[in-house]
Structure 1
């Protein structure tokens, strides 16, 4: 890894640490950085109210935003690598649509948070399993068929979501479904943080270990095979690991769009196409991006804004500029 890339990663890590402290400080109840440090070091002299706000209200939410943002960005970069397409996002195989249907059905059945999250996770994974089953041709999974199967399965589950919303009680159930589908970290607890940490972080470590093989996967399949890469096996590992990260993220926080699509492009701009630097950069950028978005969502207005609104408002214009520059340079 080049010195410039290492220096960039160090700067991103330092910026993320600063954003971490800043995010704890801001809110309707202002807190000084000194008090944040006291709370994180368990200083007994800290005011109990400030301690509760920091450790019980803001910290779990901030940790969750960093873990989920890192996971979605890492997943997006991995998908873009194996599909060889910079326009690919983590929901290309229908995981978000499947998880959305599972959660909507759980809310419709008046289930508790455990049922809603469990059904979202199960249906998200089931959607991708269905995609893989449909795409199998002569016992081989072709990328073209994967994409088409993902479009089919996503459309099917989106239709089921529309059906659930149509029959839901418009006074109570429908608003709950709508808010969940737009993504939020308002109900985060340390239990959810632990679940996300125990699943997403190991998946990111697996992708970090495979990042040098991703460089070879970016070549023609025959070239990668000639260099000793089991393309089919590596591709399936990346799909399974990335899907699990996305499914867990959606089941815990709802559907949060644009992160897996936009962040890898920012990472390439900063560190280049080499996945040895790109994957760590996406982890840091994704964590910082969702942390920034969530901080804005809870402080901009009196009523908290859904995350997908802000991620789209920020991500769509940037992606449009990036697409225009790419077209001018003869790409895509």
Structure 2
């Protein structure tokens, strides 16, 4: 989910409208926008609003965060039957939404709305309970850092956070635990790394990213969500995915390559395999990034990438997860 916009004193509750990242190229490449769309990461509703304004007949928003669903009431009042918001995971869209639909948009990661709420436990800049769950069920970040074995914790930080000092950080976490607050953890992580130079990210950024991804099984959810979107889209329907870090983008890129017939089918050690019917045709040959103007207006958009594809009439199905570039360990909890 993408970053929120600038504060506006005349906006309800003093908050700015959600500024959906890369929405202009999304609308342009999907044109004409019509019919029924699914916004699989509803958040504050920025993508849904722009899709409705662009001509979508109806948008069904899905979000695993109950607070996002509750916060949609005012927007639903504005659009009436054209907008529906459901609590759930986007991997469940096939069971939650009656298809076929004309479009699916997924805006991945954590939203600035969640980061700004200290009580959600996502931020290393604000003190709050060490939670990080996008929904209210399942093990929390505190349970992960307090219970996971050191080696597994290091793998999570290394693979999901792309942190080079993962083993050193995991060792320090195990030595200092138990943890219950975000700033407690951020302080221990920061103590393992050099003081950042001006312009560099906070030392705890990668560790917090890795833990958040593990807590919410974000890569398992991503693959299942892409498969669900493939099954729900009608012929000619559009899939649009916005990512915010290289791990997400790699998975989306490989998925769309595999499903558009662009994935390698052989190498020097194995014979080339026959091409399978392609359920998708690419709309954007390469990832689309933000313009300079968008970055200036919303610095959190800097790392965003948009990939889009159009559903063909070929049958879909499950993908080989071993070819999707999924990083890291599968489970950290015991049992």
Q: TM-score, normalised by structure 1?
A: 0.25
Structure 2 length-normalised TM: 0.24
Higher relative contact order (CA closer than 8 Å, sequence separation 6+) = 1
